[in-house]
Structure 1
């Protein structure tokens, strides 16, 4: 999987403001940005296009499969910025968007959720889903 490599502080946490795409180091492909709820709520990109936010849990095997599938989709250069958030630490978004289970891929346009996908059927399905959102 491709993730942005950043330095953590002494507590093992990512310093606020370090996960914005224009600041983070990327590898040759797009990356799935791991983000915290307060950062997502402050993110400057919101309102400027489309994003995909994957709600997951670290102990969820299906979530790991969904992440891998999205990593493959991104390698096919789908022009959507993808983020991942731990549902356990996102109570505001979980309640506001009524997220019922993980994995949940939320397609966001101009800061508003447009579609909620709970079934990550196949790489092809996700590719077409993200392509049609162009």
Structure 2
């Protein structure tokens, strides 16, 4: 399951969870919808990782703080720290490999 979070919930999530996948999205973004569906599939078998999504159009502070230049934006956090940020994805396998790199 992917939780839709506010900015404050975003901050709490990365503070309170060891591994967090955050998807920055926009409502009218078709590629963001594909990304959400892929993350939904992955989240079912990755219960030790918290999956969140946040609407970047409603959270300008997030855009500024994390220098988000496009959507979808994937941000991976490990122990409260930004571990990886990426924008392009070409398959669910690519996402799986990138996300599991959090645990290495």
- TM-score normalised to structure 2 length: 0.89
Gap runs ≥5 in structure 2: none
Q: For residues 2-32 of structure 1, what are the alpha-carbon distances to aligned partners after superposition, in whole Å with 9 as ceiling and x for unaligned? A: xxxxxxxxxxxxxxxxxxxxxxxxxxxxx10
Question: How far 1:109 sits from its partner (Å)?
Answer: 1.5
1:131 aligns with 2:76: no
Structure 1 or 2: more strand by fraction: 2
Distance change (3 Å), C-alpha of 1:116 and 1:102: same
- Runs of 4+ aligned residues of structure 1 deviating over 3 Å after TM superposition are none
Match of 1:112 in 2: 81
Given candidates 14, 22, 26, the residue that maps to 1:53 is 22
Match of 2:2 in 1: 32
Given candidates 15, 32, 35, the residue that maps to 1:63 is 32
Aligned 8 A contact 2:3 2:51 in 1 = yes
Rounded to whole Å, the distance in 2 between the matches of 1:133 and 1:127 is 10
Question: Number of residues paired by the alignment?
Answer: 103
Gap runs ≥5 in structure 1: 1-30
Aligned 8 A contact 1:105 1:117 in 2 = yes
Q: Please tell me whether Structure 1 or Structure 2 has the larger radius of gyration of its CA atoms.
A: 1
Rounded to whole Å, the distance in 2 between the matches of 1:122 and 1:95 is 28
Rounded to whole Å, the distance in 2 between the matches of 1:66 and 1:75 is 15
Cα RMSD between the aligned structures?
1.6
Aligned 8 A contact 2:13 2:20 in 1 = no
Distance change (3 Å), C-alpha of 1:100 and 1:45: closer
- TM-score normalised to structure 1 length: 0.70
